[in-house]
Amino acid sequence: MYLPDFEYFSPDSVEEACQLLSKYGSKAKAIAGGTDVLVKMKSDLLAPEVLIGLGQLSPLKKIEYVPGKGVVIGSGVTHNEVRDSKVIQEKYMSVSQAAHHMANNQVRNRGTIGGNISNAVPSADMPPILISLGATATIVGTKGERTLPLEDVFAGPNVTVLEQDEIITEFVIPDGNFTGSTYMKFGLRASGALAVVGVAAAVQVEDGVIKDARIVLGAVSPTPVRAKKAESFLKDKQASEELFAEAGVIASGECKPISDIRASAEYRKDMVRVFTKRALDAAVNKGHV
């Protein structure tokens, strides 16, 4: 395995990065941690002539809480930085845990949250939990900045709505009323395995009644999807094990998984049922975990 030849730019500002992306068009590819781009290039799945490194862009590296806005996570933050961030741990341990359970330590040390999202792989681990918490993505291009709900960023397997000259600069988890959230990843071994099914749930519970619920399913549709029927089924109902189980059955009807070398569609569907039930139980009873 050998990397093909390419030209490399290391822009000093987001603006310059976007200009370079615009200039080289489809010949160019942004690279953050490279844990996906380089692997694909070595395997002949990708052959950009120009790589534009986002690694030097310090504005992409912040994690902060901005009152009135929410938790801001720069796109260049690595998975281990997400995991270890006190800001994130205090507000949303569930996000820290989602980062902790992905890939392996080497990949977590290099791979970024921006790369994880922009890759738009159906089995990616960060989208479900961020979508369930209502996160938005800030997208910057040569023509300016726009903000989208994260769930609207994905257009299909490996495809986002980003224009050629655009990059994601940050994600914002807005302040909200969720009392609990969690992401359950079901992979085929304890470490270094992609999700066969990933289910995130965020809930707002008052006096045992579910006021609001969001369920996001990963690895079972072309993009991360919300189980909206299950969400509305839960609304204003008394939380109980039976209720979670029923929501699981509904959610499992809302996904369109494929069969591949990791699992069959039939199995994935049933795992959506199991993990929706378990995720709801955890989010309702344990808070942000």
Q: 200 and 213 in contact (C-beta within 8 Å)?
A: no
Minimum distance from residue 284 beta carbon to ligand FAD (Å): 25
Give burial (CB, 10 Å; 0-12/13-18/19+) of 118.
buried
Per partner kind, with CB cut-offs from 5 to 8 A, the member of ligand FAD, other proteins, none near residue 41 is none
Minimum distance from residue 243 beta carbon to other proteins (Å): 17
Please name the residue that has the structure tokens 């921006």. 114
Q: 173 is written with which tokens?
A: 């988890």
Q: Is residue 209 a contact point for ligand FAD (CB under 6 A)? A: no
**Which of helix, strand or coil describes residue 220?**
coil
Per partner kind, with CB cut-offs from 5 to 8 A, the member of ligand FAD, other proteins, none near residue 274 is other proteins
Per partner kind, with CB cut-offs from 5 to 8 A, the member of ligand FAD, other proteins, none near residue 168 is ligand FAD
Rule CB under 6 A: which of 140-169 touch ligand FAD? 162, 167-168
Minimum distance from residue 237 beta carbon to ligand FAD (Å): 32
Rule CB under 6 A: which of 77-106 touch ligand FAD? 102-103
Residues that bind other proteins (CB under 8 A): 1-2, 104, 186, 188-194, 261-264, 267, 270-271, 274
**How many Å apart are CA 214 and CA 235, to the nearest integer?**
10
Minimum distance from residue 208 beta carbon to ligand FAD (Å): 34
- Find the DSSP H helices in the chain: 14-24, 37-42, 79-84, 86-91, 93-100, 105-110, 113-119, 126-132, 228-234, 241-252, 265-286
**How many Å apart are CA 71 and CA 64, to the nearest integer?**
6
Per partner kind, with CB cut-offs from 5 to 8 A, the member of other proteins, ligand FAD, none near residue 45 is none
Q: Is residue 17 a contact point for ligand FAD (CB under 6 A)? A: no
Q: Is residue 35 a contact point for ligand FAD (CB under 6 A)? A: yes
Per partner kind, with CB cut-offs from 5 to 8 A, the member of ligand FAD, other proteins, none near residue 140 is none
# residues contacting ligand FAD (CB under 6 A): 30
Q: Is residue 20 a contact point for ligand FAD (CB under 6 A)? A: no
Is the Cβ of residue 274 or residue 289 nearer to other proteins in the bound state? 274
Give burial (CB, 10 Å; 0-12/13-18/19+) of 68.
exposed
Q: 265 is written with which tokens?
A: 């569609």
Strand partners, 63: 73
**How many Å apart are CA 20 and CA 132, to the nearest integer?**
34
Residue of 20, 36, 151, 226 that binds ligand FAD (CB under 6 A): 36
**How many Å apart are CA 249 and CA 19, to the nearest integer?**
48
Is the Cβ of residue 211 or residue 262 nearer to other proteins in the bound state? 262
**Which of helix, strand or coil describes residue 212?**
strand
Is the Cβ of residue 1 or residue 67 nearer to other proteins in the bound state? 1
Per partner kind, with CB cut-offs from 5 to 8 A, the member of ligand FAD, other proteins, none near residue 54 is ligand FAD
